[in-house]
A and B are shown apart, each in its own frame.
Chain A
Amino acid sequence: MPELTFREALRQALREEMLRDERVFLMGEDIGAYGGSYAVTRGLLEEFGEKRVKDTPIAEAAIVGLATGAAMGGLKPVAELMTINFSLLAADQIINHLAKIYYMFGGQFTAPAVIRTAAGWGQLGATHSQFLEVIYSHVPGLKVVMPSTPYDAKGLLKAAIRDPDPVLFIEHTLLYGIRGEVPDEEYLVPIGLADVKRPGRDVTIVAYARMVHVAMNAARELEAEGVDCEIVDLRTLRPLDIETVVESVKKTNHVVIVEEDWKSFGVGAEVAARIAEQAFDYLDAPVVRVGMLEVPMPYNRNLERHVVPDEADVLAAVRSVVGSRV
């Protein structure tokens, strides 16, 4: 099977969907001639022309609002917000408009826009190093996707473009360069379905996006210690596939949740609460969460590394959980 980078897989998804459906068009800041700030859309302007790859001014609210209006009118916009930090400038259009059009107007209009955006860190400072997926996952009416591999990225983006509902598609900037197997033949990855990235018996590690890779590395080390980890990649945050998580917990009876974001009121909090509601009797130890330190992201490299959760944090969490194995 050919290997592609995460970035190439996304570009393939966009290209295939644009070839398949002429209603699909791209819009965003610097996505055309410049090829996108993270180079995902490189070459697409040349192939599809400026009617379908539209450079916009730096105007996030207008980008999302325009995508919403175009989706209501029957087009399939894929709008790019350069990073999720800037989505806050469009939060009204995302939360008050895009997410509510279908419900508030009694099902008369759908708004099947895809909003692609990047999240990550790397000595960029506090305003450029946030995730914020929780804000949007909180809102009924939106679907929120955060893939971890090139395979999932391509299949989920294609599914998002074909989805009849609005989808926020979050790409981790530190994953753009990773490589993974992506088949030549057409496939979709369904939205709302978690994936067991590594089967195991002893402990369930729930993760998503880059933290899946951190958890995989930790799992290899733990294997040497005789601890067999099962890794559940959420892939979609809303709708959350809690069934796959609960099924895993019923088998392993131990849970660690890893998120690259502040823990308070977060994805881990939500998953832990659902496990408490649906699998309490199967737990042999308290659920443990691993997340970012609760500070704005510092600029200095050492400080930044200290704030972001890493393999050592996952190892410590798993050991603390399985140490209490009965």
Chain B
Amino acid sequence: MAEISRDTLLWIYERMRLIRCFEDKVAELFAQGLLPGFVHLYAGEEAIAVGVCAHLTDRDYITSTHRGHGHCIAKGVDINAMMAELFGKATGACKGKGGSMHIADVSKGMLGANGIVGGGGPLACGSGLTAKVTGSDSVTACFFGDGAAEQGTMHEAMNLAAIWKLPVIFVCENNLYAESTPWFYHCAARDIADRGVAYNMPGILVDGTDVFAVYEAAGEAIARARRGEGPTLIEARAFRYYGHFQGDPLTYRTPEEEEEYRRRDPLDQFRRRVLERNLLTADELDAIDARAREAVEAAVRFAQASPYPAPEECLTDVYVKYP
């Protein structure tokens, strides 16, 4: 922790707080009936996306999941464009054509939230291969959930990345439930990280509520990938505070479990630890909290004031060249 610069510490807290505020606001808007569709919220898992993306620049890539808002924010996607996308507005990141599950940003190397569980693994190999072929030192971080860990695509992707030594890190966000199915039921391995052995790559289990642990593990894995030594599998265990999607009755988990994880809240942990060590001040952190809340309110105002796409917009972007 001591070797993390002040600027990085501030950035980490700012990004985690922005994700939390964004997701809490989305939950509120959804409950008010102001947002359509499915929203899958990332609150509780902030330390994973932020701990990984702290090592990445705009030239690095990420692939994401249906629970992608946190990845977008950690990778620097503009929250005005994200919120507008959720509202289906023309100013959205994808012109209102993608929605919550399909936010992408080419300028940030964000290859898209992904509505298909396990869909991002093969794509991550593709951006990894691009980096390798063009001789750039870009790394791709492939985020996937414990549910996706059981998909064949993730096996195909991890094996391929390993045999070709692609600069990809596989970050399994084990939030304990694949929709409603507990991971100890759906996963034959003791830890998902154990599967690294099968691909001859390091498999590391970290506490996904501890941003310092994630930061350290991801730093090593990303450095290894940049050195051309191939992929790493990181399993980061955390807890999603909201349901699988908004409207999920959450009948499958216990209040004790939630209480335990609330005690380990990633933002509270961070505050406690940096304050104990006098690395940042409470005033600094409070100021970040206030700015994040205001930024999210501004994003909502921006989204609500933005126009809907014109009807004819539905016919654009199908093909680059037609016929």
> What is the 8 Å Cβ interface bit string for chain B, positions 309-323, against chain A (1 contact, 0 not)?
000000011111111
Q: Determine whether the beta carbon of A65 is less than 8 Å from that of B153.
A: yes
Q: Which partner residue on chain A sits nearest B151 by CB separation?
A: A61
Query: CB within 8 A of A73: which of B127, B157, B159?
Result: B127
The complex places the Cα of A74 from the Cα of B61 at a distance, in Å, of: 13
Q: Of B10-18, B38-46, B89-97, which binds chain A? A: B89-97
> In this assembly, does B37 line the interface, its C-beta being within 8 Å of a C-beta of chain A?
no
Could you mark each residue 39-82 of chain A with 1 if its beta carbon is under 8 Å from any beta carbon of chain B, else 0? 00000000000010010110101111111111111110100000
> Which size bracket describes the interface of B in this complex?
35 or more
Checking A54, A106, A192, A239 against B317 with a beta-carbon cut-off of 8 angstroms, the contacting residue is A106
State in angstroms the CA–CA spacing of A129 and B133 once bound together: 36
Known pairs A67-B126, A68-B123; A106 contacts B156 (CB<8 A): no
**Size range of the interface on A?**
35 or more
With an 8 A cutoff between CB atoms, is B98 at the interface?
yes
Q: Which 5 A-B pairs have the closest CB atoms?
A: A69-B126, A65-B122, A192-B323, A73-B130, A106-B94
Q: Which residues from chain B contact A64 at a C-beta distance below 8 Å? A: 122
In the docked arrangement, what's the CA distance between A109 and B126, Å? 14
Set of chain B residues within 8 Å of A54, measured between Cβ atoms: 164
Q: Do B123 and A65 touch (CB < 8 A)?
A: yes
Question: A residues within 8 A CB of B279?
Answer: none
Output the nearest chain A residue to B95 by Cβ-Cβ distance. Answer: A106
Q: Is the CB of B102 within 8 A of A65?
A: no
From A65, A69, A108, A163, contact of B130 by CB (8 A)? A69
Question: When the two chains form the complex, which single residue of A69, A97, A193 contacts B125, counting CB atoms closer than 8 Å?
Answer: A69
Task: Kindly identify which residue among A59, A72, A190 contacts B159, using a CB–CB cutoff of 8 Å.
Answer: A59
Shortest CB-to-CB span from A273 to chain B, Å, is 19
CB-based contact B160/A66 at 8 Å: yes
Contact with A along B98-136 (1 / 0, CB 8 A): 100010111000011001100101111111111101100
- Contact residues of A between 95 and 141, Cβ < 8 Å to B: 96-97, 101-110, 112, 140-141
- Cα separation A75 to B156 with both chains bound (whole Å): 21
27 contacts between A and B (CB under 8 A): A57-B160, A61-B122, A62-B121, A62-B122, A62-B159, A65-B119, A68-B122, A69-B111, A69-B123, A69-B127, A70-B129, A73-B131, A74-B130, A75-B130, A75-B133, A96-B115, A103-B317, A104-B94, A104-B102, A104-B104, A106-B97, A110-B320, A141-B318, A141-B319, A165-B320, A192-B323, A193-B323
Residue B247 interfacial (CB < 8 Å): no
- In the complex, A63 Cα to B122 Cα: how many Å? 7
Interface residues of B (CB under 8 A from A): 61, 63, 92-98, 102, 104-106, 111-112, 115-116, 119, 121-131, 133-134, 152-153, 156-157, 159-160, 163-164, 316-323
Give complex CA distance A56, B322 in Å: 32
The 8 Å CB contact of A102, one of B111, B121, B318, is: B318
Q: Given that A51-B133, A59-B156, A62-B157 are known contacts, is A72 also in contact with B123, CB under 8 Å in the complex? A: yes
The minimal Cβ–Cβ distance linking B96 to chain A, given in whole angstroms, is 8
Residues on the B chain within 8 Å of A249, using CB:
none
Across the interface, B160 reaches (CB within 8 A) one of A59, A68, A105, A163, namely A59
Known: A75-B133, A193-B323. A57 touches B163 (CB 8 A): yes
Specify which chain A residues have a CB less than 8 angstroms from the CB of B105 in the assembled complex.
Answer: 108
Are the CB atoms of B119 and A96 closer together than 8 Å? yes
Cβ of B119 and Cβ of A109 under 8 Å apart? no
**Given A57-B159, A75-B129, CB of A97 within 8 Å of CB of B318:** no
How distant is the Cα of A112 from the Cα of B128 in the complex, in angstroms? 17
